[in-house]
Amino acid sequence: MVHRLALFTLLLSCTSPVGAGTATSDDETESSSEPYVPIEGNAFPWAGESTDELCADGDDNDDNSYVDCDDFSCSRNQSVFVCEGGSLYESTPELCDGNRDDDGDGLTDCADPDCFKNPFHAVCDKPRAETDCQGGGDGDGDGLTGCDDSDCALDVAACPPAAGSLRVLFDQTLDETAGAGPNSDWVVDRWGRVPAPSDPDSADEWHGALSGFGFGLHQQGHRIENLVPWDGRLSHGDPDNPQDLAHYDVLVLVEPSRRIRSEERDAIVEFVLAGGGLLAVANHSSADRDSNGYSAPGAFNELIDDNGVMADPFGFRFDEVDRDTPTVLTDIVDPGHPVLDGPGGKVAAIGFYEGCTAHVTGAGAVGLITLGASEELVVGAAEAGDGRVVFITDSAILGDGTDSHGNTLTDHDSWNDPTQDNRALLLNAIAWLGGQG
């Protein structure tokens, strides 16, 4: 097992640029200004069977009927190295240096993001982060210096956001990657707190099914961060948490697949009531892809029903049902609402594939788009306290047909579908949640 350090070391490391396609060695090349040090932590800390020790002990440690590398929390875990041939992805040190395409995605070793964007080992050249934010140097070689480099934006005091720039936090701590492939890989980029590279030229430089969404916000001048599971936690009002929700304008939760703990539920509700924006995206009720007993509608409903802040805080609830109805939805309830007519464009039609539905329970929420001519909601919005919530019942409309493992499935690309206004809906939602409209 390699030695691991904290995430802060990861963010400040300066190694070779992404995509160099060669494994590192004891002799650092000229392009590596200092060696990469793997981070410390567990990519799935919520799972009871998710470490090298527990994934090789022959026991079903979490009582889910899957043992060791047959358990998803072992086989798809980028911080577990003992599974080797049982790993779903080409992500272990040995697989990343074997000169084979072990996971069948057409990418071999250090050309595979499972290798060069795995922060838990030092095989392959890793992304570089700017460290000279005050000296005017370009330490990561991306042509940007100081506050023009998104790496430096983490220091908000030194680099305050420009007018109209929102801080948007994409959560990864609620098991948003419970499935395999673009159908459930709800991250902008798997690398770390700041997607890598921090200033991409296209969405393809980030790796995740939400890379198109994140890049669209980046193009609008917003600041994008990930709450990574090995170091991040959901809190509100905790001065010891550098990613406390109080520092952000909008929190994005796309298909949480584990139970949201009581303190996390309270933090999310407090964040919204205090003026924050929440994008809550669910999916069909049967989408318990990791067999832990939770899918997104149930996880969200427990947040709504069982928090220690207030009853029914948002005025809506997800219906724990499956609606397998692939169609284009044009039943717009309120076409003038800013979520449907905003800076991203006007929304006249969105996609629906397989999801759940929702219904309003309080005066603060409104329906925006329904499933056909029924009263079953697919998109809605709510004002709660000083904050806002947008809820969506099918996660598939956010996907751009890529994932964090290097796969591309064009039939999963709803983000760029020219016949649907999914992109406009999501960009408008973030703007409205951030108080812009």
CATH number at residue 306: 3.40.50.880
Question: pLDDT digits over 68-100, tens only?
Answer: 999 989 999 999 999 988 899 999 999 999 999
pLDDT of residue 234 exceeding 50? yes
234 token code pair: 């959901």
Residue 294: predicted pLDDT: 87
**Same domain? 103 vs 175:** no
Residue 103 within a domain:
yes
Residues 6+ apart with CB under 8 A from 5: 37, 38, 39, 40
Question: What pLDDT does 179 receive?
Answer: 65
Is the separation of the CB atoms in 316 and 244 below 8 Å?
Answer: no
Q: Is the dihedral of CA 197, 201, 202, 205 positive or negative?
A: negative
Task: Tell me, yes or no, whether 190 and 269 share the same domain.
Answer: yes
Confidence grade of residue 180 (pLDDT, cut at 50, 70, 90): low
Residues 227 and 277 in one domain: yes
Per-residue model confidence (pLDDT) at position 14: 35
**How many other CB atoms sit within 10 Å of the CB of residue 289?**
18
Same domain flag for 342 and 427:
yes
- Quick check: is 394 in a domain? yes
Residues 396 and 256 in one domain: yes
- pLDDT tens digit string along 305-355? 999 999 999 999 999 999 999 999 999 999 999 999 999 999 999 999 999
Q: How does pLDDT run across 243-270, given as a tens digit for each residue? A: 999 999 999 999 999 999 999 999 999 9
Task: Tell whether 422 is covered by a domain.
Answer: yes
In a domain, 150, yes or no: no
Domain end residue (candidates: 128, 150, 170): 128
Strand 250-254, strand 167-171: pairing: parallel
Residue pair 283/186 in contact (Cβ under 8 Å)? The answer is no
- The model's pLDDT over 38-70, given as tens digits with 9 standing for 90+, comes to 999 999 999 999 999 999 999 999 998 899 999
Provide, for the chain, the percentages of residues in helix, strand and coil under a 3-state DSSP scheme, each rounded to the nearest 5: 20, 20, 60
The dihedrals phi and psi of 227, each to the nearest 5 degrees, come to -100, 95
106 and 188 inside one domain = no
Residues sharing a CB contact under 8 Å with residue 267, sequence separation 6 or more, in sequence order: 234, 235, 236, 245
Bridge partners, residue 360, by sequence = 316
Q: Tell which residue, 36, 20, 14, 27, has the closest CA to residue 120.
A: 36
Residue 20 tokens read as: 């160099």
Tell me: do 208 and 98 sit in the same domain. Answer: no
Asked, for residue 149, whether it belongs to a domain, the answer is no
Average pLDDT over every residue of 217-221: 96
> Domain limits at 276?
161-433
Closest CA to 178 of 47, 333, 8: 47
- Report the residue count for the chain: 437
Contact 249, 279 (CB under 8 A): no
Choose one of 85, 103, 128: the last residue of a domain: 128
| Cβ atoms 92, 121 nearer than 8 A | yes
- pLDDT surpasses 50 at 12: no
For 368, the token pair is: 């925006």
Under DSSP, is residue 304 helix (H, G, I), strand (E, B) or coil?
A: helix
Same domain, yes or no: 306 and 264: yes
Does residue 304 form part of some domain? yes
Q: How far is CA 24 from CA 124, 141, 305, in A?
A: 5, 19, 50
Amino acid at site 196: A
Residue 398 pLDDT exceeds 80:
yes
Residue 253 within a domain: yes
Tell me whether residue 100 is exposed, middle or buried, using C-beta atoms within 10 angstroms of its C-beta: 0 to 12, 13 to 18, 19 or more.
Answer: exposed
C-alpha to C-alpha distance for 13 and 108, rounded to whole angstroms:
24
Q: What is the mean pLDDT of the chain?
A: 89
The Cα 40–Cα 57 span in angstroms is 21
Same domain, 79 and 227: no
Query: In the prediction, which pLDDT does 131 show?
Result: 83
| Chain centroid to CA 330 | 28
Classify residue 391: in a domain, yes or no: yes
Cα distance between residue 170 and residue 256, in whole Å: 12
Total number of domains constituting the chain: 2
Considering only the C-alpha atoms of the chain, give the largest distance between any 2 of them, rounded to a whole number of Å.
66
- Location of structure tokens 């890049």: 215
Tokens in use for 196?
């890598």
Are 176 and 108 in a shared domain? no
| Cα pseudo-dihedral 310, 311, 313, 316, rounded to 10 | 170
Quote the tokens at residue 198: 């921090």
Helix ranges (H only) for 100-180 are 113-116
